[in-house]
Structure formats: C-alpha cells, structure tokens
Structure 1
C-alpha cells in the first residue's frame, strides 16, 4: 500500500549512473523519469559517454573519489528518499559506491548494467564480482535483464519458469528484498512481455503488452520509475507494477529519433494527459464561439451535421481515438446550433479521418470542421487569401469507393496533389446520396472556428 507522503516537499531521488550524450539512457533518462513521477532528481555521475542512437564513440570514467563525493554531497544536505544505480563502469567505482552507501539507509534499486541488448559484456569479470558481492546485498530491488540474470544466477533462461528459478536463486544468494527479471528478451515471439517479480518467497508474473517500439533507455527508465515509486512510499509490488505500466507506455509512445535504437519517451506519461485536457478545453471554447454565432453559421449547416475535432500532436496519433470531437455532432435547432454532449476522444470518425490524412502532408495541422459546400463561402475564402483545393468523387478509384471510410483520406491526398501544397480548405463536391461538404483546417479547434467566422463575415 502507499504510505501517505507527509513532508512539505516532494520526495528526493538519486541516480548513480553514467551520462548519455544522446539523452536516451543513463542519468538523462533517469532525470526525465524522476520529473514525470513528481520527484526531485539528483545525480552522481560515474562515466561520461559520447553516444547516439547507433553507437558509443567514447567513454570517460569519473574517478571513484568524485563519484563517492557526489553521493555524499547530496545525501548529507538535500537528503535521499530512494536511489538507483545504473552503469558503474569498473570495480573501483563499485567499491567506492558500495563503501559510501554504508553510511545511508535509503532504499536502493540496482539495475545491474552488465550486458547490452546485443549480448556484449559491459563490465569486466572483476567488476561483475564486485557488483555481486559488495553492492547487490545492499539492494532493495535488483532489476536484471535475461542475460544479466543468467550471469547472476548461473542459470540458462529461455522460459518464464527459467526466469522464476533464476530470480529465486539471485534473491537467495545476494539477499535483496526483491528481484525483477525483465521479460523483454524472454519468449520474444510471444505477444506479451512477462516480468518475473520474486519477492518474499514467491514469484509474481507481471504481464504486459509486448511493444515493438523505441527501447533505448528501457532498463534505466524502468529502474528509475521503481525508485521514484519507492520514494513516494509504494511497497515493492505496487512500485514494480506502476513502473511496468509506465515503461510500456514510454516504449509505445517513443519517437523515432536517430537512425539506430530510438529512445523511450518518458515525457509522454504526463504530456499526453495534459495535452488531452488542453484539447478538450480548446474544443469547448471553439464550440462556445460557434454556438454564440449560430445565426451566422446556420446558412452553412450540412444535413449530416457539423463536427469539430482536434487531435493530439501528429506523432502521437495512431487512429481516431487520438482525436477528440463532439459526440452526436453539433445539431441545428431552428436558428440555433447546439452541442448535445461535451467533447470526447474517439467521438469523431469522418472529420477525424480528414485530420489524420492531412497530417501526413503537414504535421502542424491538428483540427478541422465540416460545413456544407457553398461557392460563395469558397469565393470569400479565396478573396481573403486562404488556399483552397477540392476533389470530385467521379475520379475516385473503385477499390477506394468500396472501402468503408476510405473516400475522405483519398480525397485529401487528391486535393493536395492537385495544387502541390497543403490548403486551408478542402471541398468535396459530393455525389448522389453523398452531401457536398467543405473542410476547414487549422492548428486548433478555436483557430478553425475563427477562420470560418472570418470567411462568413467577409460577405
């Protein structure tokens, strides 16, 4: 259970690890993770690396004395509620870290960085022995990947049962409170990634979606998340479960930077919920503006109703569920427009598809609204300098016509190719049984309504 945090400031977390100049792993990943978990982050840098998503070009180890001094400096003054270790480089640094940690009793998460994803050893044998004998017994939780667990347990791991056996052996031999054998490299053909948490005298299997995404910094961010959860007062099981959910999300939302292993995206953990809140507020403001000016809009009200939609930034958009719209659309009652429901994500299909389609050509566009096709509206827009293009369904290929929901994306692409640029407005001239429409695009829902209102008032 979570222990209520009673101090008048946030928890404090320390990472003892190397620096990744690419920002994807090491102390950079740890500090990002600490920040999104609401804890105050501190560092003791063990090594400075020159690396990117493809390679490590140079490594410079900090002296053991300076590593120890960094730990003492922050612990003695600021205080530490939980800490984690990452890359410890050599046996001398491990000796120094082990020695100085004897002075403090904060919970410690050890990510035993010994083997890379490629299987290459990152620590010499004497450093591995120092890590085993001097540091692991100090740990509250140890988080090896499959290859590291094999070294620590001297057991071959191919299945979940093997991982349970190894975790039990590591806990018995090195006496941490818990061991998490990470499942990313176990049963890789499975659609699930199963982490084995061995705590007290039993194993808990933590099953999650196996995500084929950005994985650079996964181990660092996972262990940092566990440390942050421990700092807040969560017990071991809750801390690891929370970290599992966090790292799955961070892999899934990774952004494809570089040409190698792209990094996990810790910031999405708080950015996406915050941006969803902002989108809903923007849509509410836009709907209010539209409703307040109903009499000017009703002339352009289509039989299918008006929908107004806004998406997350394009790099987070996978489908219509990442686009918010108005459930039931905006309806006409006499000369008044009304939104029957509050904006929701996944509430728009047609307008959402138009946004997703146009984002492939211009990622900055995030919002759209449909009105009825009206030549005077288009003439006004052109006179104001807006870029306009459109499509005629008579040119629509048969395979597109037969596919539900494919017409709008095809039409958007057609309209853009026709003029060689991304327009502000795209019209659909319709066909028998399909109403002619106009789509107004912009960077926000409010921007779209203001643009439409400007065009209407230019009469």
Structure 2
C-alpha cells in the first residue's frame, strides 16, 4: 500500500488577506488529505475590501516553478486560479495539459477588482479551455469567457463545446443554489444544494475548485466530486458565517472545527 498522499499542484496568485488564492488552495488540499504544491503566478496586495495592487510573476519564473515541481513530485492533479498574463495561460496549457487540470478562470475578484484583462480572457478560450479536464466559472465568468449573456445551463453547454467539462457555479443568499454540470456531448445537469446567507464568502470559488481538484486526485468520479466539493464549500461557509474578520467581504473558513476535550478536573 502506498503511504504517500496524492500531490495536487495549485498554480495561482497570493492573497495577503489569506482568504482566496493559494491560501485557500493549500488549506483545502490539506483538508482533503492531499499534499499541496504551489506555483506563484502573481502577488496581490489584497484585503477583504479590495485589491490594492498586483505584481505579475515573470513567465520564466512561473516556468521554473512548474519544472521544479514536476521534476520532483508525482503530481496527480492541477488546479489553476489567477494566472495574471496571457503568456502564463499559454504556458500552463503547454506544460500541464497531460494532467487532470481543474481551471478556475479567475477574471474578477470577489471585491470586483479585475484580475484578468481581455488578453487573458482570449488566451483562456484559445489555449487553456480546450485542454482542461474541467472548468469552474461562476455565471459572470462563463458569460465573460463566451462574450455573451445567457442562462447558466446554456452557458455551461456552450463552454463544454470548447472541450472541457464545465461546472457553472451558482449563487444566491437564501433558499437553494444550483450549479450546472455540463460534460461534452451531454445535456447539462442541475446540481442543487442549500444556499447559505453570509457575507463571509471571499475565497469561495477557490475553495470549491481546490476541493474538486483534490477529489479528482483521489480518483473520485467527476459528478460525485462536484457534489462533494460543493458540500465541503458549504460546510466551510457555515463555519465562518458569523465571523467578523475584516471590513469587507469576510473570508470563507480555511480552518476545521475545533476539537472538544474533556476538562481534566484534577490536573
């Protein structure tokens, strides 16, 4: 029996507030019993209220990081977040297409800050989406990638026509939330789960896609992996729903529930 955990690689940017990006990815990988490796594509000066500045990592440095990981570790799956430049999008498509590739097409932060311009969007469509195993846009990102509005199921089907399986993640603050799973050549399937009302949702998309990548690394079939990633994300939102961290959209929990221990009366 192999004692080693599966290795999952995150290719993404940092969030100095610790809510999204690599902070969310690595914590989520650990929660799923996988070993997280990382490639830093950008450094953001960011908090719960917004993104103050961005430093995009030079493409050669991104390539060196990818090579360092692949030359040494048996990567089982890859998750991408903010990629920062069209050159890095193309690099990821070239170097990592042979692995199960979960693409979270990060174009806009929770605060509304633009994290990927038109050149990045075009590079996603031309280079990365066709080689991705699954992509996880929200409805706004799906519409931006396609350059057209539409119902989430229609957007999911249109993106699946480009090659990858697609999960268009839902929104909402009450009642139910519906994600749409589209596999190339099949009709989109609605996956409904309870929605949770909370302002502490910064990092939700990163957490969902990282959980999905970790589950795929463990050979969980895609439909089940999508459901389990959504359930995990919902549990983390529930854990942090009453937190009061930061002045803006607070972070989704990257912690686990604290264990309870009996009090030792005679200590």
TM-score normalised per structure 2: 0.92
Corresponding position of 1:156: 149
Equivalent runs, 1:21-420 vs 2, <5 Å: 21-102=16-97, 105-117=98-110, 121-157=114-150, 162-172=151-161, 174-176=162-164, 178-184=165-171, 188=172, 191-200=175-184, 201-213=186-198, 214-254=200-240, 255-268=243-256, 271-272=257-258, 275=259, 278-279=260-261, 282=262
Instruction: Please say if residues 173 and 196 of structure 2, whose CA atoms lie closer than 8 Å, have aligned partners that are also in contact.
Output: no
Aligned length: 263
More helix by share: 1
Q: Return the alpha-carbon distance in structure 2 between the equivalents of residues 189 and 28 of structure 1.
A: 24
Offset of 1:119 from its aligned partner?
A: 5.1
Instruction: Please say if residues 178 and 192 of structure 2, whose CA atoms lie closer than 8 Å, have aligned partners that are also in contact.
Output: yes
RMSD: 1.8
Offset of 1:137 from its aligned partner?
A: 1.1
Instruction: Please say if residues 14 and 42 of structure 2, whose CA atoms lie closer than 8 Å, have aligned partners that are also in contact.
Output: yes
When residues 203 and 58 of structure 1 are mapped into structure 2, their CA distance, relative to the original with a 3 A threshold, is same
Q: Return the alpha-carbon distance in structure 2 between the equivalents of residues 22 and 10 of structure 1.
A: 28
Moved over 3 A (4+): 116-121
- The structure having more radius of gyration, on CA atoms, is 1
Corresponding position of 1:421: none
Q: Return the alpha-carbon distance in structure 1 between the equivalents of residues 244 and 70 of structure 2.
A: 37
Offset of 1:71 from its aligned partner?
A: 1.1
Instruction: Please say if residues 111 and 143 of structure 1, whose CA atoms lie closer than 8 Å, have aligned partners that are also in contact.
Output: yes
Offset of 1:58 from its aligned partner?
A: 1.9
Offset of 1:122 from its aligned partner?
A: 2.7
Q: Return the alpha-carbon distance in structure 2 between the equivalents of residues 189 and 27 of structure 1.
A: 26
Q: Return the alpha-carbon distance in structure 1 between the equivalents of residues 40 and 111 of structure 2.
A: 24
Offset of 1:87 from its aligned partner?
A: 0.3
Q: Return the alpha-carbon distance in structure 2 between the equivalents of residues 179 and 57 of structure 1.
A: 31
Q: Return the alpha-carbon distance in structure 2 between the equivalents of residues 249 and 189 of structure 1.
A: 15
Per-residue CA deviations over 1:47-92 (Å, capped at 9, x if unaligned) read 0111111122221111001111111111121120001100011112
Instruction: Please say if residues 109 and 141 of structure 1, whose CA atoms lie closer than 8 Å, have aligned partners that are also in contact.
Output: yes
Q: Return the alpha-carbon distance in structure 2 between the equivalents of residues 54 and 120 of structure 1.
A: 10
Instruction: Please say if residues 67 and 97 of structure 1, whose CA atoms lie closer than 8 Å, have aligned partners that are also in contact.
Output: no
Q: Which runs of 5+ in 2 are unaligned?
A: none
Q: Return the alpha-carbon distance in structure 1 between the equivalents of residues 173 and 231 of structure 2.
A: 21
Instruction: Please say if residues 20 and 50 of structure 1, whose CA atoms lie closer than 8 Å, have aligned partners that are also in contact.
Output: yes
Q: Return the alpha-carbon distance in structure 1 between the equivalents of residues 82 and 207 of structure 2.
A: 13
Instruction: Please say if residues 104 and 135 of structure 2, whose CA atoms lie closer than 8 Å, have aligned partners that are also in contact.
Output: yes
When residues 95 and 51 of structure 1 are mapped into structure 2, their CA distance, relative to the original with a 3 A threshold, is same
Instruction: Please say if residues 115 and 147 of structure 1, whose CA atoms lie closer than 8 Å, have aligned partners that are also in contact.
Output: no
Q: Give the structure, 1 or 2, with the largest relative contact order (CA under 8 Å, sep 6 or more).
A: 2
Q: Return the alpha-carbon distance in structure 1 between the equivalents of residues 43 and 135 of structure 2.
A: 24
TM-score normalised per structure 1: 0.55
Q: Return the alpha-carbon distance in structure 2 between the equivalents of residues 16 and 96 of structure 1.
A: 11
Q: Return the alpha-carbon distance in structure 1 between the equivalents of residues 53 and 95 of structure 2.
A: 27
When residues 189 and 231 of structure 1 are mapped into structure 2, their CA distance, relative to the original with a 3 A threshold, is closer
Q: Which runs of 5+ in 1 are unaligned?
A: 1-5, 283-443, 452-459
